[in-house]
Amino acid sequence: MKIPTTSEVLAREPFQGKLLIDGAWVDAADGATFERESPAHDKVVAVYAKAGVADAEKAIESARRAFDHGEWPKMKAAERATILRKVADGILARKEEFALMETLENGKPYEQAMSEIEGAADLWQYAATLARNLHGDSYNNLGEDTLGVVLRDPIGVVSVITPWNFPFLIVSQKLPFALAAGCTAVVKPAEVTSGTTIMLGDILIEAGMPAGAVNIISGSGRVVGDVMVTHKDVDMLSFTGSTGVGKQAVAKSADTLKKVSMELGGKNPQIIFDDCDWDAAVDATVFGIYFNAGQCCNSGSRILVQKSIAEKFVAEVVERSKLVKVGDPLEAGVQVGAITTTKQCETILEYVESARKEGATIALGGSRMDTDGGTYIEPTVVTGVTKDMEIAKEEVFGPVLAVLTFDDLDDAIDLANSTLFGLSAAVWSKDFSTCMTAARRIDAGTVWVNTFLEGNAELPFGGYRESGIGRELGRLATEDYTETKTLFMHLGERTNWYLPKG
């Protein structure tokens, strides 16, 4: 894989992004724009049209018209599937361009961005298969004069709001499945990582997506996001982001009682028993916290280590963490790039300082790196953490590992379930009974056994409690974007109940 050099990339003109509304690229109604600087290079890499309320309303109107009167919901599933596969092919044909944009706006290493783009294309391929497999049920066992048919109708217009940590992967966990069901959509990426979603618009048009079926707007969540959450012509909200913002979105959507799907935060434990595969568990611990600079809802931000091995295990994690390469995401071999925003960098460091004040020990790192440019944080390990500390309960969303210890399986489960989150977890033990007992008792949507942060399009993803509402991916993913309709059919003569017999 040839990685573009930093000097080559930064010598280019910034990417120019407009709004995709009703099949056409347009400027914001008031002409407003905003810039995005690369968090790794402190240079403007993109300029976007900044949508306002009028633009958001126009985009929703377009999606509404495309759903109520357009061809997309009426197409045969096979025709929709063909277009979704063309989108996947279009993504792969431009994967280097997409990966570079992700790197420049998010700060993640180019090699990781490339894997994300390829994984996203696979989701579009998978959604195409589901388009043809979405169906209802029939019941001919209700008596000789009754036939029941259950239909799955597309729910309508979907607002898709995505975050900045995995911009293209997460829009691809939502949009193709909504489209496979026959819905239309308005999509708003995070302000700081709008590029790849805007670029997707060209691929959708080239693939034959009807005008208005997908509208893409960039801008402020407080402005256009609010319109997308509250508008009466939106039938469903699919949101990924922080739990705090997700709660606000659910509350704001309540007036219209639209359906909501929420993929929110996590404080995910990796439980390390004393009979674990040592090298694999150490590697998974380091990978789990530093992948994507820890800016991952599934990040293994807590490790729970059995006391009998805790001192030795943590010492090795610290030594391995020292070897993690942090730096320019366009440099080969870099494993951790820049923190995506200055605000997030400040939040991460505040959590580290809070842990220090509460009595924890900063065993490694804990500071912003002294570099010529960019926003980088040292790989950080915090020990002596107890379950009541802020750093043990709250989502830090950065390269900061909190270490807790436990006595036995029951103690480990208690610690694992001691937060309000329940997105994912991992169990490390060579004893099958230990693994399966723990996996069944942990309150989380995904539990990895002797591995971590792996996934497939076929497996559902989502969380318990404050980690979200509903599931994405898996064979039922398209069903989430449907309404169920019952057809109750009477065969033959029907007797009027109010007329006397005889």
Q: Where are the beta strands (DSSP E) in 349-433?
A: 361-364, 380-383, 400-406, 424-428
Q: Determine the 3-state secondary structure of 335 from DSSP.
A: coil
Secondary structure in 3-state letters for 251-265: HHHHHHCCEEEEECC
* Cα 119 to Cα 63, 124, 169, 444, distances in angstroms: 27, 9, 7, 23
Q: Which amino acid is at 258?
A: K
Q: Which amino acid is at 369?
A: M
- Of the candidates 183, 276, 296, 297, the residue annotated as catalytic is 297
Residue 435 bears catalytic tag: no
Distance of CA 182 to the CA centre of its chain: 22
- Of the candidates 105, 263, 466, 472, the residue annotated as catalytic is 263
Q: Among 154, 153, 168, which residue's Cα sits nearest to residue 113?
A: 168
Q: Judging by beta carbons within 10 Å of its beta carbon (0-12, 13-18, 19+), is residue 134 exposed, middle or buried?
A: buried
Q: Which amino acid is at 31?
A: G
CB 344 within 8 A of CB 117: no
Distance of CA 147 to the CA centre of its chain: 41
Residue 331 bears catalytic tag: no
CB 172 within 8 A of CB 179: no
Catalytic positions are: 263, 297
